[in-house]
Copies of this chain bind each other. A is one copy, B any other.
Amino acid sequence: MPSRLKRLLIGRPMKSTELELEKLSKLKALAVLSSDALSSVAYGTEQILIVLVTAGFAAIWYSIPISLAVLGLLLILILSYRQTIFSYPAGGGAYIVAKDNLGVSTGLLAGGSLLVDYILTVAVSSSAGTDAITSAFPALHDDRVLIALTMILFLTIMNLRGITESASVLAIPVYLFVIAIFVLIVSGVFKYITGGIHAEVPEIGTAVSNVSLFLLLKAFSSGCSALTGVEAVSNAIPNFRPPAERNAAATLVMMGTILGTMFIGISLLAYWYGIKPDPENTVVSQIAAATFGRGILYYAVQGVTALILFLAANTAYSAFPLLAFMLAKDKYMPNAFMIRGDRLGFSNGIIFLGIFSAILVTAFDGHTENLIPLYAVGVFIPFTLSQLGMMVRWLKLKTSGWVFRFAINTIGMLTTLAITLIFIFTKFNQVWTVFVFLPIVILLFFQIHRHYMNIASELRINMQQDKPVIKGSTIVVPVAGITRVVMNSLSYAKSLTENVVAVYVGFDDDDIERMEKKWEEWNPGVRLITLRSSYRSIIRPIMKFIETVEWKTAETDHITVLIPQFITKHWWHYILHNQTSLLLRAYLFNQKDVVIATVPYHLQR
């Protein structure tokens, strides 16, 4: 049953050779990897305006230069990540680049930061998508956690089904969103030019007395939250069809162009239309209402915006399992993250991401807004480290034209570092937890690594000297009576060695005497040892007996304990049998250095 359900949800298992077919074309990659970045358009401009409007309506003209600055930063990031893609065609996330050039600890800092961040992305996006739904249908407000969890479950299953298949389903909303926003921008600009909008807006350059540098920096850093998700492409190069790095670079540039155009378009329209941020009505919604009126086009824009916010989480589903795979390959995360599942995705990473984001959503009761700054810091730390790593790389390699490339990465590094610091200084009370979590995560990485290294050295053998050695063998068979099961076990034991001893635990002298007599009568050719238990426990006397056997023969013999076990026809029949054998097995396994052989007895009825 469970396996049939799995088949239904996830699909048939796929051969390893089908992996190539699972790889992404540029257009599909754009859909899978850019939903996080593109969805930022839905709130980027608004984040800037919210900060500026605290200094009065006159200050909103600053949104234009700030948007241009964000656009400049986007350009720098795209250029520098393009360089990374070609330098690390096997997949160059911040983890690889930082580890390669700045050392393991820095790499783990970048990697850990991103891993935590992907979990936050899923939690925040699914909550934001839920908000969009419950704004439209207020009756659902009490079920917000349930809705968010359902979406996480849906994304998890889609991603377990495999990359291509989920891309096919999930690409449509991304394309629809891009089309909707472009139609909005073109119509909006057309309406503005033809004089259809009559809003009074402060002119660019107007002096505003209470605008401080701190405020502008805060507005800028808020706007930079629109850039999260840009790194996804460079992490996911192995998912591209060959030539992977070319396709990845092209996809990155495509994404940057679309994102930049949409972002600046929305910012311009917001300024021209004189839009004030309103908690009840998003900036995009106001623009759409002013452009189209509250008709079918307006609701179309709102609908796809809600969808894309949901799907932003999907980027994390592509990036997290790959990053976890890389960390696991380097032995900083459990091996389990290296296994490809039935559908060739890294199932354990996908499931882990789903579970932890679901926990976050539940713990925060669906109100994950406070996690947004944390999430931005979690992106800009690896951004900075990755650029710094590239700088070191150019200095080391000095390939032709390295000075120009070094310059790009230096500018990138300085800007992203600045933004990280601005985030930390302007929103410390919301981001301090990062300084608690990251060290713990990195410590865990190191502990896992040490464990794997220790074990590897413990298990290593010298192929010339270490060979299997033949010893004697003693087999202990605990018996509870004289039955077919005991007969089978003794047959098995006697087939392997002459040293077989049966052991029986009795609760009183009569009991023991009766058993000894019956055994003599049966005469199976195996010696019976009887033990008396004062405490009605079967386990303890047997454990003690095995200690004695170990003490006598461990030097010369392998000791095997034979445990017969019923296999019932129906699972619920198990409750009808005392699970002493399971208990004995668990005790022996944890406390003794003996081989435990389970002799199955399949019950026919």
Residues of A within 8 A of B (CB): 13-17, 334-336, 339-340, 342, 448, 451-452, 454-455, 458-461, 463, 466-473, 482-485, 487, 490-492, 494-497, 507-508, 518, 521-526, 534-537, 558, 560, 565-567, 573, 575-578, 589-590, 592-600, 602-605
Measured between alpha carbons, how far is A179 from B368 in the docked complex, in Å? Answer: 61
How far is the CB of A259 from the nearest CB of chain B, in Å? 37
Listed from nearest, the 5 A-B pairs whose CB atoms lie closest are A459-B483, A597-B597, A468-B490, A454-B605, A468-B491
The reply to whether A595 and B598 form a contact with Cβ atoms under 8 Å apart is: yes
Measured between alpha carbons, how far is A491 from B468 in the docked complex, in Å? Answer: 4
Residue of B nearest to A533 (CB): B16
How far is the CB of A159 from the nearest CB of chain B, in Å? 17
Measured between alpha carbons, how far is A99 from B577 in the docked complex, in Å? Answer: 25
Measured between alpha carbons, how far is A374 from B296 in the docked complex, in Å? Answer: 61
The reply to whether A17 and B487 form a contact with Cβ atoms under 8 Å apart is: no
Choose one: B13, B470, B573; the contact of A535 (CB below 8 Å).
Answer: B13
Choose one: B339, B460, B473; the contact of A536 (CB below 8 Å).
Answer: B339
How far is the CB of A348 from the nearest CB of chain B, in Å? 10
How far is the CB of A454 from the nearest CB of chain B, in Å? 4
The reply to whether A494 and B470 form a contact with Cβ atoms under 8 Å apart is: yes
- A460-B484, A469-B491, A470-B494 given; 9 more Cβ-contact pairs under 8 Å: A13-B537, A339-B536, A339-B578, A340-B536, A468-B490, A470-B491, A470-B495, A592-B600, A593-B602
The reply to whether A526 and B468 form a contact with Cβ atoms under 8 Å apart is: yes
Known: A16-B535, A567-B589, A597-B597. A497 touches B496 (CB 8 A): yes
Chain B residues near A507: list those with CB within 8 A.
16
- A to B CB contacts below 8 Å, 10 in the list: A454-B605, A459-B484, A461-B484, A463-B482, A463-B521, A467-B525, A473-B496, A496-B558, A593-B600, A595-B599
Chain B residues near A577: list those with CB within 8 A.
335
Chain B residues near A573: list those with CB within 8 A.
451
The reply to whether A472 and B454 form a contact with Cβ atoms under 8 Å apart is: no
Measured between alpha carbons, how far is A448 from B507 in the docked complex, in Å? Answer: 26
Measured between alpha carbons, how far is A597 from B76 in the docked complex, in Å? Answer: 61
How many copies the complex holds: the figure is: 2
Chain B residues near A525: list those with CB within 8 A.
467-468
Measured between alpha carbons, how far is A603 from B457 in the docked complex, in Å? Answer: 11
The reply to whether A334 and B575 form a contact with Cβ atoms under 8 Å apart is: yes
Measured between alpha carbons, how far is A465 from B535 in the docked complex, in Å? Answer: 36
The reply to whether B494 and A496 form a contact with Cβ atoms under 8 Å apart is: no
The reply to whether B468 and A494 form a contact with Cβ atoms under 8 Å apart is: yes
Measured between alpha carbons, how far is A468 from B482 in the docked complex, in Å? Answer: 12
Measured between alpha carbons, how far is A471 from B492 in the docked complex, in Å? Answer: 8
How far is the CB of A236 from the nearest CB of chain B, in Å? 21
How far is the CB of A559 from the nearest CB of chain B, in Å? 10
The reply to whether A558 and B492 form a contact with Cβ atoms under 8 Å apart is: yes
Residue of B nearest to A333 (CB): B576
Chain B residues near A468: list those with CB within 8 A.
487, 490-491, 494, 524-526
Chain B residues near A335: list those with CB within 8 A.
576-578
Chain B residues near A487: list those with CB within 8 A.
461, 466-468
Residue of B nearest to A467 (CB): B524
Chain B residues near A448: list those with CB within 8 A.
576
Chain B residues near A597: list those with CB within 8 A.
560, 595-598
Chain B residues near A565: list those with CB within 8 A.
589
How far is the CB of A455 from the nearest CB of chain B, in Å? 6
The reply to whether B595 and A600 form a contact with Cβ atoms under 8 Å apart is: yes
The reply to whether B600 and A589 form a contact with Cβ atoms under 8 Å apart is: yes
Chain B residues near A497: list those with CB within 8 A.
496
Measured between alpha carbons, how far is A95 from B537 in the docked complex, in Å? Answer: 29
